[in-house]
Amino acid sequence: MREIVFDTETTGLDFEADRVIEIGGLELWNHVPTGKVFHRYVRPVGRRVDPDAFRVHGISDDMLSDKPTFGEIVEEFEAFFGGARLVAHNATFDLRFLNAELARLERPPIEADRIVDTLAMARRKFPMANATLDALCSRFSIDTSKRTKHGALLDSELLADVYLELLGGRQSALGLVVVDGREPGGANERIAVPQRLAPLASRLTPEEAARHRAFVATLGSSPAWMKLLEPADEAAQKAS
């Protein structure tokens, strides 16, 4: 499953009048970051950056003066974001602004059913707790030392870590150990898996096992594989 964790910065808070000035996103494939990112600054046509917004993200009109307009990057934006599930924090805000930009160009909107809102996830998982991105980073011990101001790509990177923790943690599918010092039932809790009393019998045929042992013998005088082969040979002898 392909997902894009993303964030936007804007000239202000009114999605009908204000404009998107920065878009950042990173790709996940089956909840694993692929390293592919999208990051663009956008020149807001006919709109200046509100002073209150500038204090939040530090993006000035001068910084945007030589940047492309949204219309100049829209095809690149749609190519990266298209077809993926989209993950954002307080997603309604970002969705309204992006759809307003798309509407100005008479492009189809982003459908709401493609959106995952991590703010809503956090409020369900931690009722009554502070659910800002900073608060969630603190809860999950995610390093925010580089975040002196809001930025779309950096916030997307932090949000990707938060999103994976809200899903159950980076190793949620493994469920191998219980992490000490975490709240019961928390996102970082792991379930201990009991050991089998007796190992399962090998599914290898004797011929396959012999070929494998012959191959391991070519790896040197004491390859690490021998540590695994010897217990397996003992188990096979007991099973026979």
Residues 47 and 96 occupy one common structural domain: yes
Specify the pTM.
0.69
224 and 133 within one domain: no
Q: At what angle do helices 118-125 and 152-167 cross, to 10 degrees?
A: 40
For residue 41, the SS3 value is: strand
Same-domain check for residues 158 and 217: no
Q: Per-residue pLDDT for the chain (240 aa), expressed as one digit of tens each?
A: 999 999 999 999 999 999 999 999 999 999 999 999 999 999 999 999 999 999 999 999 999 999 999 999 999 999 999 989 999 999 999 999 999 999 999 999 999 999 999 999 999 999 999 999 999 999 999 998 877 667 898 899 999 999 999 998 765 444 444 444 444 444 444 445 555 566 666 677 888 878 888 887 787 777 776 766 665 565 555 555
- CATH for 31: 3.30.420.10
221 and 123 in one domain?
Answer: no
The yes-or-no answer on residue 150 being catalytic is: yes
The boundaries of the domain holding residue 121 are 2-167
**Catalytic site residue from 31, 39, 150, 212:** 150
Q: Are residues 157 and 215 in the same domain?
A: no
Using CA atoms, how far residue 99 sits from 25, 28, 37, 91, 115, in Å, is 16, 22, 21, 12, 13
